[in-house]
A and B are shown apart, each in its own frame.
Chain A
Amino acid sequence: MVKALVACRAGVGSSLMLKIKLNEVISEHDLPVQVEHSSLDGLPSFDGPIVIALSDVAEELQEQGIDKVIVGIKNILDKNEIYAKLSDALKQVQA
């Protein structure tokens, strides 16, 4: 299992909704990913390779140069977008 962290500023709203949608995609496509969610404060203690956030937060994280595969989601209801980006991230991690 590959660990992925869904992070948002507060850890109670958008990250939770994104996690719900991610889990739908993961079970539909049987992806080897285990998702946790937290606020951005949870990031330093997260030991997995993938961080998923809404695109604004993802850009911010990218600028900070965090050593993770960072996935930015624009529309949390769009399962195609989530699937495409998550599979990409998985390929990078497994390469």
Chain B
Amino acid sequence: MIEKIIKENLIKLHVKSHDWKEAIKLSAQPLVDNKIVTPNYVNEIINSVNEYGPYFVIAPHVALAHAPGEAGAKELAMGISVLEPAIEFNNTNNDPVSYVFTLSAPDSNSHLKAMQELVYLLTDDNFYQILSNSQKPSEILQYINDSVVKQKIGK
């Protein structure tokens, strides 16, 4: 499932930004370019941080950037950006952020399986090595594919 919603052209490596706002905009740009989310969706992500704080920095160095589907999520997809250098998101527990996963989910249930697979990947230390050391998005996608196959065999 997750290997189907993360597309190669939504993965960006060595993303250079000056602050968290720019990091979010750059991470979401491939989804805007591919008409997966509207520009308003990206603004809404930034607005919700202004209102609620950086709540989507969910684990050390990991941000799951997302907004409510009605803000402009048109299809189920996820982008990955590897920030270089890592950026402060003002989340004292989990800063600095190196990995931004931008989620577009039009409804609240169809991606449960994909999120389970993402949780599994995020508890795998090798995954972070792959994210940081890959030179091409296809290498990351290959690792995700292999991981999903392994999970299926494991069960």
Contacts and interface: CB of A to CB of B under 8 A. Distances in A.
A57 interface: yes
Q: Among the interface residues B48, B67, B108, which one has the most CB atoms of the partner chain A within 10 A?
A: B108
Nearest to B116: A20
Interface string B38-63: 00000000001000111110111000
Given A17-B118, A74-B94, A60 B52 contact: yes
B105 A13 contact: yes
Interface string A1-19: 0000000111111101110
A13 B93 contact: no
A13 B59 contact: no
Chain A interface, DSSP helix/strand/loop, else mixed: mixed
Majority SS of interface residues in chain B?
Answer: loop
B66 interface: yes
B116 A13 contact: no
Given A9-B52, A12-B108, A17-B118, A76 B58 contact: yes
Given A9-B48, A13-B103, A75-B94, A20 B115 contact: yes
Contacts of B111: 12, 16
Interface residues of B, number: 29
Given A10-B66, A56-B91, 19 more contacts: A8-B55, A9-B52, A10-B48, A12-B68, A12-B69, A12-B107, A12-B108, A12-B111, A13-B103, A13-B105, A14-B64, A18-B58, A20-B119, A39-B68, A56-B55, A74-B94, A75-B59, A76-B58, A78-B59
11 contacts: A12-B105, A12-B108, A14-B66, A16-B112, A17-B58, A17-B115, A20-B115, A20-B116, A39-B68, A54-B56, A74-B94
